[in-house]
């Protein structure tokens, strides 16, 4: 049950979300205002903006929910797809598909390649962290993730080096964290797995609550930890991979949103998961608006905005004393 | 009923349990005692299915590892040694975790779950803690909530791993009375690893004394809590003084 204060915060959040979505449809490189639907240009503009807003919402929801799940399953408050290097792994997979030129014909190949590479990265990171003394230790997992992420970034540079001029441009623009997703086809191909993953996670919100007590206690509470934990990690990876395939690397969205929600509403995943979906989506749409309006007529990629706000937040979490 | 036959556990070539064979009958209240590293917690982990072991571990006639996670949790509840304080849950949400295996996949907990949690919180005196976060509670309060969580599960067997270690004398005795009440009135089997020998002598019908992963003595408190046996298990000189009025035994190191 929510307290009075939480109900106020929730109501303010709903009002804020409506305002942000309304603002998002009116903001763009073509100026401020609702596009004129009577003209072809206006309709095209609305189509572009709608695609961008939905992409922003889906990507933000996916990254935020993935972060929330990873933090619980790995019992690590700093766990997040970007920091763990999962996003970098996914980006290598996506870049390879982009470099082959197959993405234009078969958009679903982008999330597929992204997911395979992201899964391989997760397995690699977990096994290295385990050898380094246990994946439950925050430092081990974070350090392994950061180093693996750096190595994968170099692999990405290598792919860019050997790619053709046109591919280099599209990979670079996509890499910066760009919400102007190529097409509705790609958006659909990536959104369906994300929705399925969210449904799976919502069905396991009680399991995630039990996992807050650690793997052994969760086992004692009736969780089949041997199968459920890997599946939860696969779902978080799938969501990250689909988000990366659409919008490139957007860091820290999976860290900021779940932490703020935990602080305000506690860690009951029955509320935290849907909260992460909605707040994560709104957060990224708001960051995108900021990127579009702060230095007109230039557009700052949304990945830059989240990194600028998320980096200091990460450092704050890293240095703050345990209460 | 818990039946263990020739149980052996090794941690990287180091023996933690060896040739453990014992039977805990339905409705028994037994304590596991022994020095640090004797294998008390390991034995409980084997019974709860958290640790795979050589030999056979049967719960109500079925191999523990053949039970599904849900079946296992509906039979056995485990009260851990310590509940971490950093878990951002309220008391009520924490106790509800005991119902994890019965909760619906979607939606709010059912009326049965709510009633079970309420009953467990009232019986453990933790109702005033239901809105407070675990991080704002003392170790003793968290431990009482852990017991409420186990009660809320409605188990037939409760395993406790030194669960009263963080409690003051008042709450320690209160929890022991509560366990005995559950044991006597509902026939719940209680198996508890315990360090406090006087508490063990006072409240348990049977004590199992472990030494270096093996059973040194198994029997009533009167037969197990003998100075010579305890000296062998703990490696120090011990004096035992029987107390009047069925209060058990006073055990002091010399």
Half-sphere exposure of residue A179: CA atoms within 13 angstroms, side-chain side:
34
Q: Give how far A317 is from chain B: nearest CA, Å.
A: 14
- Residue A297, preceding bond cis, omega within 30 degrees? yes
Return the ∠ at Cα A237 (arms to A232 and A242), rounded to 5°.
Answer: 130
Residues in chain B closer than 8 A to A219 (CB atoms)? 48-50, 69
Q: Give how far A210 is from chain B: nearest CA, Å.
A: 6
Query: Given a cut of 80, is residue A280 above it in pLDDT?
Result: yes
Q: Which of the residues A4, A207, A221 would you substitute to probe the B interface, choosing the one with the greatest number of B C-beta atoms within 10 Å?
A: A221
Asked if residue B45 is part of any domain, the answer here is yes
Percent of chain A at pLDDT above 90? 33
Mean pLDDT of A2-10: 73
CA B116 to chain centre: 20
Predicted pLDDT at A182: 65
Q: pLDDT tier at A134 (50, 70, 90 boundaries)?
A: low
For residues B214 and B47, give the distance between their C-alpha atoms in angstroms, rounded to a whole number.
15
Query: Given a cut of 50, is residue B240 above it in pLDDT?
Result: yes
Query: Given a cut of 80, is residue B210 above it in pLDDT?
Result: yes
For residues B159 and B245, give the distance between their C-alpha atoms in angstroms, rounded to a whole number.
29
Out of A206, A262, A267, the one facing B100 most closely (by C-beta) is A206
Q: pLDDT tier at A135 (50, 70, 90 boundaries)?
A: low
Q: State the residue range of the domain holding A114.
A: 52-318
CA B162 to chain centre: 7
Out of A3, A203, A220, the one facing B105 most closely (by C-beta) is A203
Query: Given a cut of 80, is residue A9 above it in pLDDT?
Result: no
The pairs formed by B167-171 with CB atoms below 8 angstroms and a separation of 24 or more are: B167/B140, B167/B143, B168/B140, B171/B140, B171/B143, B171/B144
Predicted pLDDT at A323: 41
Query: Cβ atoms within 10 A of the Cβ of B225, count?
Result: 24
Tell me, letter by letter, the H, E, C secondary structure of chain B: CEEEEEEEEEECCEEEEEEEEEEECCCCEEEEEECCCCCHHHHHHHHHCCCCCEEEEEECCEEHHHCCHHHHHHHEEEECCCCCCCCCCEHHHHHHHHHCCCCCCCCCCCHHHHHHHHHHHHHCCCHHHCCCEHHHCCHHHHHHHHHHHHHHCCCCEEEEECCCCCCCHHHHHHHHHHHHHHHHHHCCEEEEECCCHHHHHHHCCEEEEEECCEEEEEECHHHHCCHHHHHHHHCCCEEEEECCCCCCEEEEEC
Mean pLDDT of A229-251: 91
Q: Give how far B225 is from chain A: nearest CA, Å.
A: 31
Residues 6+ apart with CB under 8 A from A185: A107
Contact B50 A220 (CB under 8 A): yes
| Residues A24/A25/A29/A35 CA torsion (nearest 10 deg) | -160
Asked if residue A112 is part of any domain, the answer here is yes
Asked if residue A300 is part of any domain, the answer here is yes
Q: Cα–Cα distances in Å, from A71 out to A63, A94, A172, A260, B98?
A: 12, 25, 30, 13, 22
Percent of chain A at pLDDT above 70? 94
Which has the closest alpha carbon to A278: A4, A21, A3?
A21
CA A290 to chain centre: 18
Asked if residue B182 is part of any domain, the answer here is yes
Q: Which of the residues A206, A220, A273, A275 would you substitute to probe the B interface, choosing the one with the greatest number of B C-beta atoms within 10 Å?
A: A220
Please state whether beta strands B206-211 and B249-253 pair in parallel, antiparallel, or not at all (unpaired): unpaired
Beta-carbon pairs below 8 A across chains A and B: 74
Asked if residue B238 is part of any domain, the answer here is yes
Asked if residue B150 is part of any domain, the answer here is no
Average confidence score pLDDT of chain B: 89
For residues A235 and A216, give the distance between their C-alpha atoms in angstroms, rounded to a whole number.
21
Q: Give how far A255 is from chain B: nearest CA, Å.
A: 16
For residues A266 and A104, give the distance between their C-alpha atoms in angstroms, rounded to a whole number.
44
CATH of the domain at A228: 1.10.3470.10
Percent of chain B at pLDDT above 90? 46
Asked if residue B207 is part of any domain, the answer here is yes
Q: pLDDT tier at A3 (50, 70, 90 boundaries)?
A: low
Predicted pLDDT at A237: 93
For residues A215 and B62, give the distance between their C-alpha atoms in angstroms, rounded to a whole number.
24
- Among chain B residues, the shortest Cα distance to A214 is held by B84
Asked if residue B120 is part of any domain, the answer here is no
Query: Given a cut of 70, is residue A25 above it in pLDDT?
Result: yes
Predicted pLDDT at B72: 93
Asked if residue A263 is part of any domain, the answer here is yes
Instruction: Assess contact for B124 and B178: CB atoms under 8 A.
Output: yes
Contact B90 A322 (CB under 8 A): no
Contact B100 A266 (CB under 8 A): no
CATH of the domain at B70: 3.40.50.300
Q: What radius of gyration do chain B's Cα atoms show?
A: 18
| Residues A148/A154/A160/A163 CA torsion (nearest 10 deg) | -90
Query: Cβ atoms within 10 A of the Cβ of B84, count?
Result: 14
* Domain count across chain A: 1
Mean pLDDT of B157-167: 87
Residues in chain A closer than 8 A to B41 (CB atoms)? none
Out of B49, B89, B100, the one facing A267 most closely (by C-beta) is B89
Which residue would you say has higher pLDDT here, A177 or A280? A280
Q: Does the beta carbon of B61 lie under 8 angstroms from any beta carbon of chain A? A: no
Contact B108 A266 (CB under 8 A): no
Mean pLDDT of A274-292: 90
Asked if residue A39 is part of any domain, the answer here is no
Predicted pLDDT at A114: 93
Name B219's bridge partners.
Answer: B207
For B216, phi and psi rounded to 5 degrees?
Answer: -90, -40
Asked if residue A12 is part of any domain, the answer here is no
Percent of chain B at pLDDT above 70? 100
Contact A266 B77 (CB under 8 A): no
Asked if residue A181 is part of any domain, the answer here is yes
Which has the closest alpha carbon to A288: A311, A306, A271?
A306
Q: Does the beta carbon of B216 lie under 8 angstroms from any beta carbon of chain A? A: no
Asked if residue B179 is part of any domain, the answer here is yes
Contact A217 B80 (CB under 8 A): yes
Contact A221 B101 (CB under 8 A): yes
Contact B68 A217 (CB under 8 A): no
Instruction: Assess contact for A285 and A21: CB atoms under 8 A.
Output: yes
CA B205 to chain centre: 14
* Domain count across chain B: 1
Query: Given a cut of 90, is residue A142 above it in pLDDT?
Result: no
For residues A172 and A226, give the distance between their C-alpha atoms in angstroms, rounded to a whole number.
40
* Least confident range of A63-77, A309-323, B34-48: A309-323
Query: Given a cut of 80, is residue B246 above it in pLDDT?
Result: no
Please report the residues numbered 189 through 228 in chain A whose beta carbons come closer than 8 angstroms to any beta carbon of chain B: 202-204, 206-207, 209-210, 212-214, 216-224
- Among chain A residues, the shortest Cα distance to B74 is held by A222
Q: State the residue range of the domain holding B207.
A: 2-82+157-253
Asked if residue A30 is part of any domain, the answer here is no
Residues in chain A closer than 8 A to B134 (CB atoms)? none
* Least confident range of A232-236, B10-14, B24-28, B106-110: B10-14
Predicted pLDDT at A322: 44
Q: pLDDT tier at A269 (50, 70, 90 boundaries)?
A: very high
For residues B219 and B205, give the distance between their C-alpha atoms in angstroms, rounded to a whole number.
8
For residues B110 and A206, give the distance between their C-alpha atoms in angstroms, rounded to a whole number.
13
Residues 6+ apart with CB under 8 A from A250: A59, A63, A82, A87, A177, A243, A284, A302, A303, A306
Out of B88, B96, B101, the one facing A267 most closely (by C-beta) is B88
Contact B76 A207 (CB under 8 A): no
* Least confident range of A63-77, A103-117, A172-186, B71-85: A172-186
Asked if residue B127 is part of any domain, the answer here is no
Q: pLDDT tier at A321 (50, 70, 90 boundaries)?
A: very low
Mean pLDDT of A5-22: 81
């Amino acid at each position: 049950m929510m307290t009075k204060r939480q109900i106020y915060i929730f109501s303010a959040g709903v009002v804020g979300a409506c305002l942000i979505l309304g603002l998002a449809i009116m903001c763009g490189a073509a100026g401020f205002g609702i596009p004129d639907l009577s003209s072809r240009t206006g309709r095209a503009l609305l189509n572009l903006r709608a695609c961008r807003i939905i992409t922003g919402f889906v990507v933000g929801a996916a990254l935020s929910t993935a972060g929330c799940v990873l933090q619980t399953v790995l019992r690590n408050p700093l766990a997040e797809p970007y920091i763990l290097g999962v996003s970098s792994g996914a980006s290598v997979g996506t870049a390879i598909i982009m470099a082959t030129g197959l993405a234009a014909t078969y958009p679903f190949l982008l999330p597929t390649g992204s997911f395979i590479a992201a899964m391989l990265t997760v397995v690699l990171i977990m096994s290295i962290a385990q050898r380094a003394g246990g994946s439950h230790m925050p430092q081990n997992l974070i350090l392994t993730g950061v180093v693996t992420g750096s190595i994968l970034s170099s692999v990405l540079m290598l792919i860019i080096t050997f790619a053709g001029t046109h591919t280099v441009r599209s990979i670079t623009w996509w890499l910066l964290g760009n919400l102007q997703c190529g097409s509705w086809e790609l958006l659909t191909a990536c959104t369906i797995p994300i929705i399925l993953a969210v449904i799976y996670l919502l069905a396991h919100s009680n399991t995630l609550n039990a996992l807050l007590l650690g793997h052994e206690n969760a086992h004692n509470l009736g969780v089949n930890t041997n199968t459920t934990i890997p599946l939860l990690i696969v779902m978080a990876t799938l969501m990250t991979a689909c988000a990366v395939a659409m919008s490139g690397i957007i860091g820290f969205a999976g860290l900021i949103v779940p932490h703020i929600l935990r602080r305000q509403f506690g860690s009951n995943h029955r509320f935290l998961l849907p909260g992460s979906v909605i707040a994560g989506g709104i957060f990224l749409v708001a960051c995108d608006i900021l990127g579009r309006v702060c230095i007109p007529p230039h557009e700052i990629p949304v990945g830059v905005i989240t990194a600028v706000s998320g980096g200091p937040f990460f450092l704050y979490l890293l240095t703050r004393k345990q209460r | 009923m818990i039946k263990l036959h020739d149980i052996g556990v090794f941690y990287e070539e180091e023996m933690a349990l060896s040739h453990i064979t014992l039977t805990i009958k339905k409705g028994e209240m037994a304590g596991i005692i022994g020095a640090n590293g004797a294998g008390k917690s390991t034995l409980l982990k084997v019974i709860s299915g958290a640790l795979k072991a050589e030999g056979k571990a049967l719960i109500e006639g079925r191999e523990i590892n053949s039970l599904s996670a849900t079946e296992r949790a509906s039979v056995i509840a485990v009260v851990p040694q310590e509940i971490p304080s950093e878990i951002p849950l309220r008391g009520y949400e924490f106790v509800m975790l005991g119902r994890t295996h019965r909760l619906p996949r979607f939606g709010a907990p059912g009326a049965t779950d709510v009633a079970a949690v309420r009953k467990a919180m009232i019986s453990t005196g933790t109702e005033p803690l239901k809105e407070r976060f675990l991080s704002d509670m003392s170790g003793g309060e968290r431990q009482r909530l852990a017991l409420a969580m186990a009660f809320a599960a409605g188990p037939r067997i409760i395993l406790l791993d030194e669960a009263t270690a963080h409690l003051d004398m008042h709450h320690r005795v209160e929890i022991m009375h509560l366990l005995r009440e559950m044991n006597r009135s509902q026939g719940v089997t209680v198996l508890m690893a315990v360090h406090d020998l006087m508490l063990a002598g006072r409240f348990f019908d049977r004590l199992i004394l472990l030494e270096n992963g093996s059973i040194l003595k198994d029997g009533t408190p009167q037969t197990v809590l003998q100075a010579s046996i305890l000296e062998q298990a703990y490696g120090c000189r011990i004096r035992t003084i029987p107390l009047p009025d069925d209060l058990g035994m006073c055990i002091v190191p010399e």
